[in-house]
Structures are given as structure tokens and as C-alpha cells.
Amino acid sequence: MQAWSQHAPSLPNAPWQPTTTVLKKYVPIVTHDEVKMDAADAYTLGQLIDIAESNNPTTRESWNHAKASAAAVGIAKSELYPTLFAFATGKNYNLPPLLYNTFVVQDIGLFATAVHLDYTLIDFGTRRSEITAAQAKLVAANLSFNDTHLQLIQQVSQAYYALLNARGLRAAAEVNLTDAKALEEAAQERRDNGLATLPDLLEARAEREKANYDLQSAIGAEKTAFGDLATAIAAQPVHAFKVQGLDDLHIPNALDQSVEDAIANAYKQRPDLLAEKAKVKAAHAEVTRYTSAYFPTLSFEAEGGWVRAWGQQKTYPGTYAQTRTYETALSLKWTIFDGLRRENRISQAKAEEAEAKNAVHEREDQIGERVWASYQEAVTALEQRKAAASLLAASAESHSASVESYKDGVRNLLDVLNAERDLARARALDVTARTRVLQSFTGLAFRTGDLLAQHPKGNTP
């Protein structure tokens, strides 16, 4: 079967099996350049954001949409200028015109060249309104482009912090396993000395196996988080690279603005909200454009050229002639009735304008609600960070005391296991609390739009 004669699948209950020829002809190979990461460097968040903005396909897609909108403005502006075109015509025909009471056969060859000019002089704002609408759509597209970057910065930041959290939990799990092994060794030593029973040793061994299981789970979660980050920056997760660690980052200890200021800033600078407002401007310009259709248009046409012709009339010798030609016209066009097309177009445009305004109000409500929620999450994260730090210090002290007491025969193994579990939980909570502060602050900056200008910078200013 030829590729050009392919059909739809013959049965609804089986997959379509395309031929190799069809796939080669209609499924082109689209190359995707892989980001080359240096395995020796430890990338900062700013550098990762730089890489993502330069290579992630979503930013390029949004950029091309903005470029298309810019071209649409140029197309709309071109209507303000005259149209000038040249043409040449070659024609040969045999024409029998009726002269008096008989047809006279004429054989004519004609060649004409001319330049034609069309220019709309007055249209009562139709073209200007179209330009305004296109310009507003361009502004909306540019703001959407900024929103794409904002979304990408948020995605990379959260993926980065998720990886730091996963690595912190893996490191905590490794320490927990080390402690569990030490406890098992202590239990073995006490049993060898007749100070502990076999159930005590088995409990310690089970705790060590549980710690190892938790470590393997943490390792798997870390690999998954690394893959998410690599995907966000358009890199391949099969090639390892390093990132700056959690201990090297500054953890904020307070918010620098009130929730009222945060919501107000979001209303002023969120690019998606500003894009929705620009769409209102575009919709209003469309209303003006269709309203101007009720008025007449005044246009000017001119044409000048040169005609050369050779002709012969039956029974007479042939002849050749040439001459200059020109034509000018001033036209006033006024649509009296069009089947209510203008009325319906205006109604449609007004409805679209109202729809655009409602979209702005809906987006404002969403932004206010989400900024409020993100602000409260940041406040909660700060308090949890303080509590987690205190819990870790207390748990470490309690665990150390329990182990020493167990070695001295004052405490039993169950007390030590409980203290060890509490310490393991405290380590995990401390890591999660620190990364949650960073995540919540980044989430708040994303919701307010501050993240677009205040995100960490890498190699580019």
C-alpha cells in the first residue's frame, strides 16, 4: 500500500499497524538537544534556572507565540498604507464583433503593463481599532511569555528544594541506620555478657532492618526527585550532576511583608492577571472596530500603464499600435443593509469584552485566595522550623542519655528503641521543616509575582 493511499484503521478493536514507509514519510524525526551538565560542578538554584530558561521548550513555545502576535500588529498596521502592485498581461484572441449587419473577424494580440494603486483614505477608525486590538493582544502575549518564565522558575525551584529534601531525608536515614547498627551491637554485647535476652537482640536487629528499609526508600525518593529536576531543566536524568546542598543555603527566619501588601503586590505585578486585563483592552477595541462599520469608507484608486497591440481584420492588412493608459477613481462606499451582520458582530464583541472582564475578576479572586494561603503556609513553616530545631536537639539529648543508661543497665532496650525512633523522626522533621521554609517562601513569591524578578541569579544578570 502506498503512503498516499493509506486508510483509517479497519477495525475499532485493534491498534493501527502503520507500515515502515508511512512512518518514514509522515512521522519526521524531531531532534531535541540535550543539555550538557558538568558532573564536577555543584549547580546553584540560579544556575539551574538559567539552564531551564534557555533550554526548556515551554519558554520557546511562548516566545514564538509572542513573535506571532508581534507580526499580527505589523499586518494590522499595513492597512494604513496604500497597496501598490504591478502587472503584465499578454493576450491573443479572435473576436468577431458585429458591425452593421455582419460579423467582422478580428485577430488581435495584446500586451499591457500597468501599476495599480489602492488607498483607503477614510474609514472612521476601523483600521486604528484593529491595530489597537492587535497591540493589546501583543502585550497580553508578552505578559503570558513572562508568566511562562514565572511558572518555569517556580517549577525548577520546587524541584530543586524537593531534591534537597529527599537528599536530607536520605542522609538522615543513613544516620538512623548507623544508630540502629550501634544499638544492635550494644544489644549483642549485653547478651554476650548475660545482661540482655534474645528478644532484646531480635528487637534491635528488627530495628536495624527497618532503618535499612527506610534508607532504601529514601534513596529511591531521591532518585525520583533528581529525575524531576533534570526534566525541569531539559536535561537527561541518566547523566548525574551535583547541586548546592541544603546546609549551604540561608534559611529565612521572618517574612518581610504583611499579607495585605503581598496581595496588593500580586494584583499589581502578576503577569497572568495583567495579560487578562490586556485582553479586555483588545476586546474593547474589537467593539469599536465593528461599530465603525456603520460609517462609510472613502478610497482612492489609480492605474497607469502602457498597451501594445497587433491586430488584423479580415480582408484588411494587419496593424500595430501602442499607447499610454491611466485611470483614477474616488469611491465612497456605505453599507446600508447587511442582514444584521454588523449588529450581531457588535453583540458578539461586547459579550467577549464582558467575558474578558469576568475573567479578570475571577483571576483576582483566585490570586487573593492563593496568596493568603501561601502566606499562611510560610508563617506555619517558620514556626515549624523553630519547633523542629528544638525537637531535634531534645531528641538527640534524650537518645544519647538512653543509650548510655542502657549500656549501664539502667534502661531497657524498649526505652532506647523509642528514643531512637523519636530521634529518627526528629531528624526527618528538621530536614523537611528547613526545606519547607524555602518552598513556602518561594511559593509565596510565585503567587505574588515577586519570583519573576527576585529569583536567584546564575550566570546571567
Is residue 1 pLDDT above 70, yes or no? no
User: 86: which 3 cell numbers?
Assistant: 504591478
- Which residues, in sequence order, are CB contacts of 424 under 8 Å at separation 6+? 172, 173, 176, 179, 211, 214
Using DSSP's 3-state secondary structure scheme, residue 30 falls into: coil
This prediction's pTM: 0.82
Buried b (16+ CB within 10 A) or exposed e, 176-203: bbebbbebbebbeebeeeeebeeebbeb
Name which residue leads in pLDDT, 241 or 417. 241
The pLDDT, as a whole number, for residue 459 is: 61
Q: Are 46 and 244 in contact (CB under 8 A)?
A: no
Average pLDDT over residues 164-189: 89
Q: CA of 460: how far to CAs of 22, 27, 233, in Å?
A: 45, 37, 16
Where does CATH 2.20.200 sit in the chain?
82-122+297-333
The pLDDT, as a whole number, for residue 453 is: 87
Q: Are 268 and 143 in contact (CB under 8 A)?
A: no
Band (6; pLDDT cuts 50, 70, 90): low
What are φ and ψ of residue 432, in 5° steps?
-65, -40
Strand arrangement, sheet containing 319-333: 83-95, 106-122, 297-313, 319-333
Is residue 3 pLDDT above 70, yes or no? no
pLDDT in tens, 305-322: 999 998 888 778 889 999
Sign for the pseudo-dihedral over CA of 385, 390, 391, 397: positive
pLDDT in tens, 297-309: 999 999 999 999 9
Is residue 461 pLDDT above 50, yes or no? no
Using DSSP's 3-state secondary structure scheme, residue 215 falls into: helix
pLDDT in tens, 72-100: 999 999 999 999 999 899 998 887 887 78
CATH no., domain 38-81+143-293+341-454? 1.20.1600.10
User: 229: which 3 cell numbers?
Assistant: 529536576
Sign for the pseudo-dihedral over CA of 72, 76, 77, 81: positive
What are φ and ψ of residue 321, in 5° steps?
-150, 155
The pLDDT, as a whole number, for residue 33 is: 67
Q: How far is CA 397 from the centre of its chain?
A: 48
Band (236; pLDDT cuts 50, 70, 90): confident
Average pLDDT over residues 176-199: 83
Is residue 173 pLDDT above 50, yes or no? yes
As a whole number, the mean pLDDT across the chain is 89
The pLDDT, as a whole number, for residue 405 is: 84
- Range in 111-115, 196-200, 407-411, 441-445 with the lowest mean pLDDT: 407-411
Where does CATH 1.20.1600.10 sit in the chain?
38-81+143-293+341-454
The pLDDT, as a whole number, for residue 15 is: 87
Q: CA of 280: how far to CAs of 276, 292, 428, in Å?
A: 7, 19, 49
> Could you tell me which of 425, 402, 424, 397 has the C-alpha nearest to residue 414?
402
> Could you tell me which of 173, 186, 185 has the C-alpha nearest to residue 404?
186
Q: Which residues pair with 243 in a beta bridge?
A: 43
Q: Are 79 and 130 in contact (CB under 8 A)?
A: yes
Buried b (16+ CB within 10 A) or exposed e, 138-158: bbbbbbbbbbbbbbbbbbbbb
The pLDDT, as a whole number, for residue 421 is: 85
Cα(70)–Cα(129) distance, integer angstroms = 16
Is residue 227 pLDDT above 70, yes or no? yes
Name which residue leads in pLDDT, 105 or 219. 219
Is residue 290 pLDDT above 60, yes or no? yes
The pLDDT, as a whole number, for residue 95 is: 77
Average pLDDT over residues 351-372: 96
Q: CA of 312: how far to CAs of 94, 98, 113, 322, in Å?
A: 10, 16, 22, 15
Is residue 442 pLDDT above 70, yes or no? yes
The pLDDT, as a whole number, for residue 456 is: 80
Is residue 20 pLDDT above 60, yes or no? yes
Band (284; pLDDT cuts 50, 70, 90): very high
User: 166: which 3 cell numbers?
Assistant: 529527599
CATH no., domain 82-122+297-333? 2.20.200
Sign for the pseudo-dihedral over CA of 362, 437, 227, 214: negative
Average pLDDT over residues 140-159: 95
Cα(68)–Cα(178) distance, integer angstroms = 60
Band (23; pLDDT cuts 50, 70, 90): confident
- Percent pLDDT > 70 in the chain is 97
pLDDT in tens, 328-354: 999 999 999 989 999 999 999 999 999
Q: Are 388 and 426 in contact (CB under 8 A)?
A: yes
Cα(219)–Cα(131) distance, integer angstroms = 57
Residue ranges in 270-313 assigned as alpha helix (H): 271-291
Using DSSP's 3-state secondary structure scheme, residue 111 falls into: strand
